[in-house]
Amino acid sequence: MEISDQNSDIIYLGEDELPINDVCINDVSFHFECGGNDIPGTSQQQGNGTINVELLGEQFYDGGDEEDEEDDVIPWDHTPDVVLAKIASYLTQWDKSEMSLVCKNWNRVILAAPRLWRHRIIRLRGNFKDRSHVNYANILGRFLSRLHLSSGLRSLRHARKFQRTFTAIFAELYRQRVQLKELSLTELKFHVHFRGVPGGRARQGIIRSARRFLGRQAKLRYLDLNYGGMTCEEGTALLQAASEKSSRVLKALDIEELFRPGAPVHQSSEFAETLPRFVNLVQLTMNYSALSDELLTNLARESNGLLEFFHVRCIRGENLNHIVGTPAWRAFSGRMSKCQLEFSLIGVIRLNDIQRVLTPQMPLQILSVVGHNDDSFQPDRTLKYISRYLNNTVEKVVIDVTPCYKLYGRGFIDIIRDSPRLRHLEVRGRIRWHVIHDVFEFLDVNFVRRGVRPPLTTLRMLVTSTPIEPYEEEAFVIEEYRPVFSRFDLMYELVIEPMFFPLPLEFREPRRVHN
């Protein structure tokens, strides 16, 4: 029998009434299944004046003597250690430190829980605030398994202070024989913050401390050295130290912009021999300036073929004068059969540069071209080049170069028609409605009418328009074919956005073509 009463002092059980004193019941349902005069959930039978009702882990007593409410409050110093450690696990690093200062018991529990101090994010600025990080390494450094250290320097005056703090942290970790699983040393920017005589001495101390610490790491699985700005010798020395004991356990390596811009790293045979020492790499991220035929050949010959993701970033201003030949890519793809190759061209928009970087018949699967257009970008010819030489492997293409003055034409149709594995295409530019119509007509005739799902599952067109260009026809094309492709759950989208950049002086509005 379920009975719910609000603001009442009596609970009705059948035909009997049992008074309960000093209990306020608000929107609470009690369920009793009783037989005879016995009341389940009570310590005695009806009439003895004692009721024990258990609700949500709490007990309410009535009858006999009244107890003081303060006796029911459990003091915090009696909280189990497991509960305190669990509460502290949800707090930030600063809050955990503050919590450990409440009392001796909390200090003992929190500082003795290793899982609370496994991960540490340090940003050194070369001032007095960095002392807290040194104290952390002294007291809790033995618990570390993941360390992410970055630079927040704003002036060359603090380079020596930064170096002393950096050296003190890693010297303490080295003394305690700490074995990390993840290590990130990012944004050091040696070419900016460590110049001149004082900066040169500071960078030598940093490299020396990092090399000594990396040379002892035998469990390192992830190493991130982004934005180091080092010379070829300095960066190679760090990789050599890391390969002494972690060559077979390291799974992910990120050396994007490890070397300073313009450094001819691809000419270094020492670097080409050092990187393949990590034989069990699964993820690798690097710059095109460090890529060479010798490096690909060594990777294919010495690695175990476990590489699954290879990301190459090509940034404007880097050394792009070298060409990685097709034989080296064939040897690499033959060994790394499961590898997904991705190229990101950032600011590299000239067709000559794109043709130099993207070698014909290379196993490219993901390509992104982004940057600001200085009226040298040729979108249609770029798509034609991809559809002619990279069509057998490419799966995703993203082109976002603004402002785009030239039009997409036959190249937009060719890459969809000639790339059987293309599943994602995203372009930003100026496209005529008859080109979009031809693309949808090709998909409709070759796939939809046959009841086959098109391989191109995501098509996003961000069409830039000028005040003199109405785009009603393009919108009508999308609406015409939308019901046809909706049953395949395809992500086809047309976004028309205004062009905020002025057109070049030599621009002439092309004559509109109507079918």
Residue 421's pLDDT band, with cuts at 50, 70 and 90, is: very high
Measured CA to CA, the distance from residue 407 to residue 512 in angstroms comes to 12
Measured CA to CA, the distance from residue 282 to residue 375 in angstroms comes to 39
The residue segments making up the domain with residue 62 are 2-72
In a domain, 408, yes or no: yes
Residue 184 and residue 150 in contact, taking contact as beta carbons nearer than 8 Å = yes
- Tens of pLDDT, residue by residue over 171-194, are 999 999 999 999 999 999 888 888
**CA distances (Å), origin 345, targets 103, 288, 290, 413, 463:** 56, 10, 15, 22, 21
**176: phi then psi, degrees, rounded to nearest 5:** -85, 5
> Does residue 40 carry a pLDDT above 50?
no
- Tens of pLDDT, residue by residue over 280-290, are 999 999 999 99
Token digits of residue 133: 């990080």
In a domain, 39, yes or no: yes
In a domain, 462, yes or no: yes
> Does residue 245 carry a pLDDT above 90?
yes
Neighbours of 274 (CB within 10 A): 22
β-pair partners for 151? 124
**86: phi then psi, degrees, rounded to nearest 5:** -65, -40
Nearest-10 Cα torsion for 429, 432, 434, 439: 0
> How far is Cα of residue 277 from the mean position of the Cα atoms in its chain?
26
pLDDT for 432 equals 78
Domain ends where: 22, 47, 72?
72
Mean predicted confidence (pLDDT) in 308-334? 91
pLDDT for 470 equals 63
Residue 39 and residue 51 in contact, taking contact as beta carbons nearer than 8 Å = yes
In a domain, 277, yes or no: no
- Tens of pLDDT, residue by residue over 15-38, are 444 443 443 444 444 443 444 444
Measured CA to CA, the distance from residue 411 to residue 431 in angstroms comes to 11
- Tens of pLDDT, residue by residue over 450-489, are 888 899 999 998 888 765 566 666 667 777 777 777 778 8
The structural domain count of the chain equals 2
Give me the chain's average pLDDT, please. Answer: 81
Token digits of residue 359: 């070698």
363 three-state secondary structure: coil
Measured CA to CA, the distance from residue 324 to residue 328 in angstroms comes to 7
- Tens of pLDDT, residue by residue over 97-121, are 777 777 777 777 777 777 788 888 9
Which has more pLDDT, 66 or 437? 437
In a domain, 508, yes or no: yes
In a domain, 131, yes or no: no
In a domain, 404, yes or no: yes
Which has more pLDDT, 475 or 439? 439
Domain ends where: 25, 42, 72?
72
Domain ends where: 47, 72, 97?
72
pTM greater than the 0.85 cutoff: no
> How far is Cα of residue 353 from the mean position of the Cα atoms in its chain?
29
> Does residue 50 carry a pLDDT above 80?
no
Measured CA to CA, the distance from residue 337 to residue 308 in angstroms comes to 9
In a domain, 171, yes or no: no
